[in-house]
Amino acid sequence: MTNRRLFSQLFIPSITIIILVIIIFIWFIIHSVEEFYYLEKTNELKARATLVSRTISNEFLNDRQYLTKICQELGNDTRTRITIISDSGDVLGDSHENPQNMDNHNDRPEVINAREKGMGTVIRYSHTLDQEMMYLAIRVDTFKQPLIIRTSLSIASLQSNITGIRRTILLVGILISILAGGISFILSKQIANPLEVMRQRAEQFAKGDFSQKLPTTNTSELNSLANSLNRMTVQLNNRIQTILQERNEREAVLSSMVEGVLAVDTDEKIISLNKAVAQLFHIERKPAIGKQISSIIRNSNLLNFIEKVLTSKQYQEAELIIHDTTDRFLNITGTVLHNELGRSTGAVFVLNDITRIKKLENIRKEFVANVSHELKTPITAIKGFIETLRNVTDSADRQRFLDILENQSNRLNAIIDNLLKLSRIEGQEDSAEILFEEETIKSVLVSAVADCHKIIEEKNIIVQVKCDVHLSAIINAPLLQQALANLLDNAIKYSDIGDQVIISAKRKGNQISMTVRDFGIGISEEHFERLFERFYCVDKARSRKLGGTGLGLAIVKHIAFIHNGNVSVQSEVGKGSTFSIIIPEAK
């Protein structure tokens, strides 16, 4: 449909102009031919009138018979009507009529013009001959009296000839118009088709499809235009690809950043934000672009900080808190954006989640406080009993105090020993020096039970080992044995005399689960989250009484991490507890 419209826009104006030119040309030719014919007839009539004037004798000017005879003879020879008229308008002789019967010709246009200008020509209807005639009259002053000699002839044949010429010229004009129309049709097609192809390609280029080039044509101008557009397309495609590549690289960098990056303009409308910001504030990236940041992010501290940076136009840094399901701490820096003219166009902000750092700082503070507290208790006790011993003389009291000092020393030594173990294990988490070998799990369980042999006998605990002898995994046997021994030691301590403890291992999918189950006092669920933290105790008084340091479960957790595993607990108050270490199975 578009191609037809383009073709009509080219063909119709061109054929219209051609037809108009041909019509004007035909009119000019016909008009010129008619003028030529009339001029030739005028010259012919003038020549015949001159011939008549030279034939007339001066002696017979008043002899009408003589003049009529001359008119008849010359008229017959030249097939022309000849009339001799006196200066007063009377007809003296005529080749076709009796002069005496003819009217005065003083009012004839040709006679009037001849008398005034010397010659007059006119085409009019002759009532005498009953036909259209061409008249030419000349004034002759060589005689005794002026005469008007008029020659005339019928223009019927002349008009017939002119009509024939008109038909011929019109026919030729029609043929030329048809030929010109055909040529215009072909040329319009040759122009319209390439232009339509160019239009279609241009629409594809506008949509970003640069896969096809414009074809060359036989027309040099269109071919030059097509080549120029092809070169422009290649350059445009290269620039677009460069821009897309730069944008993708920038998006990839921003998306992969752990830090959140947020950019706003001077009106606080969002220019850009990366994936980290979207996740941090639980928003959609694309819908947020171009919107007011206050309508997207509902954090007054952040909004105030953004306003401060835009107002001061200086680098700023601060810490923010996001109150979500859990409090999150952010370190945010802001700097102003400038364009190539140095004018401020907005600001960019980098948000770094320092929640983990804050938690580690809190853990460190708690750890230092707990260590100080745990170490201070036995040291204070030791110091106090030493002072007491200086004044004790009774041997029984002295021995009792010495036993207390020994227990406190052992507790202090156990705390320090466990701290060293924990520090050594944490240092080995990312170390490649830990030796892992494929070992049977049951042998590790049996060794852990052997490590707790003394306390098992003291409390008369029944320990059952349940494990397939062929179950194996790639492990560090001494570390895993230590972790299981710690769990077994806790299970025995918090069980009553004569109770049962079950240590077992079994396959769960592609993992191996090792569990220690007791039927002792149990643990409330509220303690589960912090149970594996350093120095965390459910009952500190009982733990100290039983010789616990609060570091055993922390050691178990880190040993599990070294084996790419994890720990879990299930417990119910009054019904016992089940601690599990889950590690990958050997492949």
Sheet holding 119-126, edge to edge: 91-94, 81-86, 147-154, 131-140, 119-126
Residue-wise pLDDT for 125-144, tens only, equals 777 667 778 888 988 886 66
The mean-pLDDT minimum among 289-293, 356-360, 538-542 falls in 538-542
Q: Output phi, psi for 447, to 5 deg.
A: -65, -40
CA–CA gap between residue 205 and residue 281 (Å, rounded) = 39
- Looking at residue 292, what DSSP letter applies? B
User: Top-level CATH class of 364-428?
Assistant: mainly alpha
Percent of the chain with pLDDT over 70: 76
| pTM for this entry | 0.41
Per-chain mean pLDDT for the chain: 77
**More confident of the two residues 61 and 502:** 502
Q: Could you tell me the fold of the domain covering 257-353?
A: Beta-Lactamase (3.30.450)
Position 547 scores a pLDDT of: 47
- What residue spans in the chain does CATH classification 3.30.565.10 cover? 437-584
Q: Tell me whether strands 566-572 and 500-508 are parallel, antiparallel or unpaired.
A: unpaired
Token pair, residue 356, equals 């983990």
What is the predicted pLDDT for the residue at 189? Answer: 66
The DSSP code for 586 is: P
257-to-203, 247, 337 alpha-carbon distances in Å: 39, 15, 20
Fold for the domain defined by 32-161:
Beta-Lactamase (3.30.450)
Q: For position 542, what pLDDT does the model report?
A: 45
* pLDDT for res 502: 92
Inter-CA distances, 400 with 375, 411, 493, Å: 22, 17, 24
Model confidence over 145-191: pLDDT tens digits?
788 888 888 777 666 777 777 777 778 777 877 777 777 667 666 66
Which strands make up the sheet holding 462-466, listed edge to edge? 462-466, 500-508, 511-518, 576-584, 566-572
**Sign of CA pseudo-dihedral 544, 548, 550, 553:** negative
* pLDDT score at 407: 67
CB contact set of 96 (below 8 Å; sequence gap of 6+):
75, 81, 128, 129
pLDDT > 90: percent of the chain: 3
Residue-wise pLDDT for 364-399, tens only, equals 666 666 556 556 666 776 777 677 777 777 777 777
Asked if 274 and 254 touch (Cβ cutoff 8 Å), the reply is yes
Q: Which two tokens stand for residue 227?
A: 């080549």
Helix (H, G, I), strand (E, B) or coil at 131: strand
Q: For CATH 3.30.450.20, list the domain ranges present in the chain.
A: 32-161, 257-353
Q: What is the pLDDT of residues 80-106, one digit of tens each?
A: 888 888 888 888 888 888 888 888 888
Residue 319 is which amino acid? E
The CATH architecture annotation of domain 437-584 reads 2-Layer Sandwich (3.30)
